[in-house]
């Protein structure tokens, strides 16, 4: 399974992040350890939600949709 996940910064709750992974625990640890340049300045992070899909291709497509346009608006209306 692949996961599209939603994070919110605990140090700056207005900062949010949407990403994909096939190893949820390891990826979340990497964010909290500062292993991602995009999220390191806003550590620590909390997992808000995730969506499981069967393939990486579907996860990439869904992540792209949720980061722009109406998908982005939906995420900010319903999750943040």
Provide the domain count of the chain. Answer: 1
| 7-59 tens-digit pLDDT | 999 999 999 999 999 999 999 999 999 999 999 999 999 999 999 999 999 99
Q: Is the pTM of this model over 0.85?
A: yes
SS3 at position 43: coil
**Cα separation, 32 vs 68, whole angstroms:** 25
Cβ(4)–Cβ(21) under 8 Å? no
66: domain CATH number?
3.40.1440
Cα distance between residue 48 and residue 31, in whole Å: 14
**Range of the structural domain that residue 18 is part of:** 2-78
pLDDT computed for residue 75 by the predictor: 92
Q: Is the pLDDT of residue 2 over 90?
A: yes
Alpha carbons 23 and 16: distance in angstroms, whole number = 20
- Beta-carbon count within 10 A of 42 CB: 19
């Amino acid at each position: 399974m692949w996961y599209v996940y939603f994070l919110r910064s605990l140090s700056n709750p207005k900062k949010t992040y949407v990403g994909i992974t096939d190893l949820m625990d390891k990826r979340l640890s990497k964010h909290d350890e500062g292993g991602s340049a995009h999220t390191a300045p806003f550590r620590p992070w909390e997992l808000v939600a995730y969506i499981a899909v069967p393939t990486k291709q579907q996860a990439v497509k869904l992540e792209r949709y949720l980061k722009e346009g109406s998908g982005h608006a939906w995420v900010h209306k319903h999750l943040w």
